Amino acid sequence: MNIQEYIKIVHNGNQLWFVDEVSHHTNQQRIKDVIEKKKYLDGRHAILNRVVENYNGKPYEQRAVVLQYAKLIVQLETTYLLKQPLTLTGDENIVIDMKKVYKRGKYDKVNFDLLANMVKYGNAYEYVYVNSNGDVASKVIPTECGYPIYDDELNMVAFVEYYTSLESDYYVVYTMDQVVKHSTVGDGELKVIGSYKNVSGLPIHYKTGNEMSEVFGKSDLDDFINIIDQMEDLISKFSDSFYKHHNPIPVVIGQQLRGEGINPHIVGGGITLDDGADFKMVSNEINHQAFETIFNTLMQQLINIASVPAVALNASDVSNLSEMSMRMLYQLADMKAGINERYLREGLEQRNDKVIGLMSKVGKAYSNDAIESLDMKFHYSRPVNETEVIENLVKLYEVGAISIESLVEISPYVSNEHLELKRIMDKAEMDKVANAIWEKQKQGLKQGAEQDLAE
């Protein structure tokens, strides 16, 4: 099914079909959920909806403690996978050209933004194009502005980007052969304000797994927002009880004698009681052990569900750990990063295909073997014992179980393995030339000495 058939079947041939598509109930529900996630990450939590109550005859504003664990977890999950830029591997010629494209297009930031959107909202969108300088670049379409359109076989047939600016509506319609921009800017009437040839195809849809949908992903925030809400509710109410604990109720048991009592200007105040009477301040007892147990239990469940190492949230102390122990601590984080890598890789492979197609139009042609060899390697930000890693690499190299290329690539101190290998080869060549000169000089000295002895 192409977009024309989709418009005819779903929108009865309406020329403004993209307006109906944006206004559709399911799309509006999805965009509303994205906006709610944005508000939550901005700090607008449910605990802030607590109302003012009456305490001791006066209005009392209840405590509302906001815990921004969700924002921290999203940042940890994103930086764990992409703190270090991914490495392109494969045929040397295609890798060199792709690295130039990635550097000029600032694709390290683009990758980071795409993964962040996937983790936060479950979906991310990228459009690959050729900019005014003739370089390949990418635009990250905000998740709340993206409306991918799929047919009955889950193939994307079009994409609509909708946003508001300058008190006007903007609709950017992407099809396989063109990009058309509509807007109400000016007189308020919807009209075409731009039309461009589409040389890279439809935008790329990155998405996470979702048990209820094969088209759209599911936000990771949905798994632990309710836990954070419970933690905020618990600590806020405990703060209220602690405040009220310092405002006890005075209780007199028995008969209080009338009289001046103690001069308040001398000691601050006092009362006089009859014989056998008693006076005390009654307050609620604070069970801090119960609070700690509940809060720590919620924290542990948050760590488990979010797959965040306890050490990353300062929930446990560690010291003098071996490489294997560190791997065990970060096992859940590695599993989560592996899942995110798989989702991200699906979109990145589509991007690479588009980039190679665009480069082929400017004369950069590659063989099928070179294209198939192109791959990506992710570097997880797990803490490592670098001394132990280097010792193992040296041992492997000494017994001939690893090449110098692999050693340089794995080394934690090398960021550009190609440049480092070139330096090593240049040094080896220089050493070879120096040794040849030295051998020639030694040979000349030897011959000179033999001639002196002969004379």
Over residues 392-450, the pLDDT tens digits come to 888 888 888 888 777 777 776 776 777 777 888 888 777 777 777 777 776 766 666 66
Residue 263: predicted pLDDT = 47
- What is d(CA 145, CA 27) in angstroms, rounded to the nearest whole number? 10
The phi, psi pair for 175, rounded to 5°, reads -120, 180
- The gap between the terminal CA atoms of the chain, to the nearest Å, is 99
Which two structure tokens, joined as six digits, stand for 24? 């559709």
Residue 90: predicted pLDDT = 86
- What is d(CA 129, CA 197) in angstroms, rounded to the nearest whole number? 10
Percentage of the chain with pLDDT > 70?
82
Distances (CA, A) of 198 to 180, 183, 237, 340: 9, 19, 57, 30
DSSP secondary structure of 292-355: HHHHHHHHHHHHHHHT--GGGGT-S---S--HHHHHHHTHHHHHHHHHHHHHHHHHHHHHHHHH
Q: Does residue 323 carry a pLDDT above 50? A: yes
The phi, psi pair for 130, rounded to 5°, reads -110, 120
Residue 256: predicted pLDDT = 57
- Interacting residues of 26 by C-beta distance below 8 A, sequence separation 6+: none
- What is d(CA 55, CA 62) in angstroms, rounded to the nearest whole number? 10
- What is d(CA 303, CA 292) in angstroms, rounded to the nearest whole number? 16
The phi, psi pair for 369, rounded to 5°, reads -65, -40
107 pLDDT band (50/70/90 cuts)? Answer: very high
- Interacting residues of 282 by C-beta distance below 8 A, sequence separation 6+: 248, 249, 250, 251
Q: What angle do CA 139, 170, 32 make, to 5 degrees?
A: 80
Which two structure tokens, joined as six digits, stand for 449? 């000495």
Residue 401: predicted pLDDT = 82
Strands (E), 37-132: 52-55, 58-61, 87-89, 123-130
Residue 317: predicted pLDDT = 56
- Which residue is associated with the tokens 């103690």? 262
Q: Does residue 274 carry a pLDDT above 70? A: no
- By the 10 Å C-beta count (0-12 exposed, 13-18 middle, 19+ buried), 98 is classed as buried
Per-domain residue ranges of the chain: 1-44+123-218, 45-122+220-244+283-384
Of 117, 411, 370, nearest to 403 by C-alpha is: 411
pLDDT digits (tens, 9 = 90+) for 124-157: 999 999 988 888 999 999 999 999 999 989 999 9
pLDDT digits (tens, 9 = 90+) for 351-402: 999 999 998 887 788 888 889 999 998 988 877 767 777 888 888 888 888 8
Hey, CA dihedral for 109, 114, 118, 122, is it positive or negative? positive
Q: Does residue 178 carry a pLDDT above 60? A: yes
pLDDT digits (tens, 9 = 90+) for 333-343: 888 999 999 99
- What is d(CA 351, CA 420) in angstroms, rounded to the nearest whole number? 28
Q: Which of 32-41, 42-51, 200-209, 270-279 has the lowest mean pLDDT?
A: 270-279
Which two structure tokens, joined as six digits, stand for 353? 């295909």
Of 415, 389, 413, nearest to 402 by C-alpha is: 389
Which two structure tokens, joined as six digits, stand for 372? 């198939």
Residue 330: predicted pLDDT = 79
Q: Do residues 231 and 46 touch, judged by C-beta distance below 8 A?
A: no
Greater model confidence, 18 or 237: 18
Q: Does residue 185 carry a pLDDT above 80? A: yes
Distances (CA, A) of 103 to 93, 99, 100: 16, 6, 5
The DSSP symbol for 49 reads: G
Give the best-scoring range by mean pLDDT among 88-92, 173-177, 249-253, 257-261.
173-177
- Interacting residues of 186 by C-beta distance below 8 A, sequence separation 6+: 168
Residue 248: predicted pLDDT = 64
- Interacting residues of 141 by C-beta distance below 8 A, sequence separation 6+: 125, 126, 127, 161, 203
- Interacting residues of 225 by C-beta distance below 8 A, sequence separation 6+: 40, 70
Hey, CA dihedral for 163, 164, 166, 170, is it positive or negative? positive
Residue 174: predicted pLDDT = 96
- What is d(CA 125, CA 143) in angstroms, rounded to the nearest whole number? 7
- What is d(CA 202, CA 126) in angstroms, rounded to the nearest whole number? 9
Q: Does residue 312 carry a pLDDT above 70? A: no
